[in-house]
Amino acid sequence: MLTRTTVELMLGAAGYCTHPERLTLRGGTLRPVQFPAGFACIIHPVLGPVLFDTGYTSRFFKETAHLPASLYRHITPVIYEDQDSAALQLKAIGIAPEQVRYVVLSHFHADHIGGVRDFPSAQFVYLQDAYESVRQLGALRALKAGFLPGLLPEEFARRSLPFRRDEAVQRFEAGFPFQKGWDLFGDGSMLAVELSGHAEGMIGIFISTQQHDYFLCADAVWSSRAIHENRPPHPAAGLIMSSRSDYRDSFCKVMELHKKYPEVCIVPSHCRQALARWGGSLGHER
């Protein structure tokens, strides 16, 4: 096991967006394909349900009703119905929104933070630089960074528990693709590592269930195929990246993890195959 404390994991998706596969997978098809807006519900033995990202909610449509933000939904059309929210899906399996005490945010793109307002008791855990890089952007630059500030609650900063780059310490064995990381809850249950490039300060997390080690790698890769076939995204996808060279570094680390530690289940946020294999409609793995 990669981590000290095992958890239970449920993977779900709250809505989909569509764009040509070729943008996310070199040599892929030009026809639009669906990319689930994935989230993970991690049941911690002491802390209870902890969310990793949230997917979309109907608030996305409200926040993108007018220019310039409406460009966002034209560029990546979103398929979403009210019952798709993470909060309602959790409710359906007996987890009330108030029970969620922590929401870990991989980065601040709208399809990851869309549901944070639905969890009124939650504190938000993220790498400080991820928020700092978007917090003060004007409307157009925020849009280019995929950030819709209205998705965050007014008291977001007060309810936040950000961690800093210089707090990262050695967490992994020699030869592991990542050297430093953060022990998010101090009990070895969730180890975060930096995956900048897709977005500044993006993180992924390592968790372990009784059965498997998982790496929730957010948007460092968009699909399991990209990893198995070593196919990075189309260069045009670089337009929305915070740094192409950081992206390449992060992509290489995920590839190295896959090669050296093939037993680790790598879960990209927007991969239909990963969702079907390890989660799907909040399939429950204990």
At closest approach, how far in Å is the CB of 212 from Zn ion?
24
Structure tokens at 228: 């198995």
At closest approach, how far in Å is the CB of 109 from Zn ion?
3
At closest approach, how far in Å is the CB of 155 from Zn ion?
24
At closest approach, how far in Å is the CB of 107 from Zn ion?
6
For Zn ion, give the closer residue by CB, 108 or 278. 108
At closest approach, how far in Å is the CB of 219 from Zn ion?
4
* E strand or H helix that includes residue 45: none
* E strand or H helix that includes residue 285: strand 284-285
SS3 state of residue 40: strand
φ/ψ of residue 206, rounded to 5 = -100, 130
Structure tokens at 203: 């993180």
Dihedral through CA 135, CA 138, CA 140, CA 143, nearest 10? 20
Residue reference for tokens 């699909």? 223
For Zn ion, give the closer residue by CB, 200 or 219. 219
For Zn ion, give the closer residue by CB, 183 or 219. 219
Residue reference for tokens 């409307």? 139
For Zn ion, give the closer residue by CB, 44 or 270. 270
Dihedral through CA 217, CA 222, CA 224, CA 225, nearest 10? -150
For Zn ion, give the closer residue by CB, 53 or 183. 53
For Zn ion, give the closer residue by CB, 54 or 209. 54
CA–CA separation, 202 and 102 (whole Å): 17
For Zn ion, give the closer residue by CB, 109 or 117. 109
At closest approach, how far in Å is the CB of 45 from Zn ion?
30
Instruction: Specify the length of the chain in residues.
Output: 286
Contact (Cβ atoms closer than 8 angstroms) between residue 226 and residue 25: yes
β-pairing, 32-44 with 78-79? Answer: unpaired
Structure tokens at 176: 């592991």
φ/ψ of residue 191, rounded to 5 = -105, 120
Residue 200's Cβ-side half-sphere holds a number of Cα atoms within 13 Å equal to: 13
Q: How many CB atoms lie within 10 A of CB 178?
A: 21
Q: Which residues bind Zn ion (CB under 5 A)?
A: 109, 219
At closest approach, how far in Å is the CB of 55 from Zn ion?
12
For Zn ion, give the closer residue by CB, 7 or 221. 221
At closest approach, how far in Å is the CB of 134 from Zn ion?
11
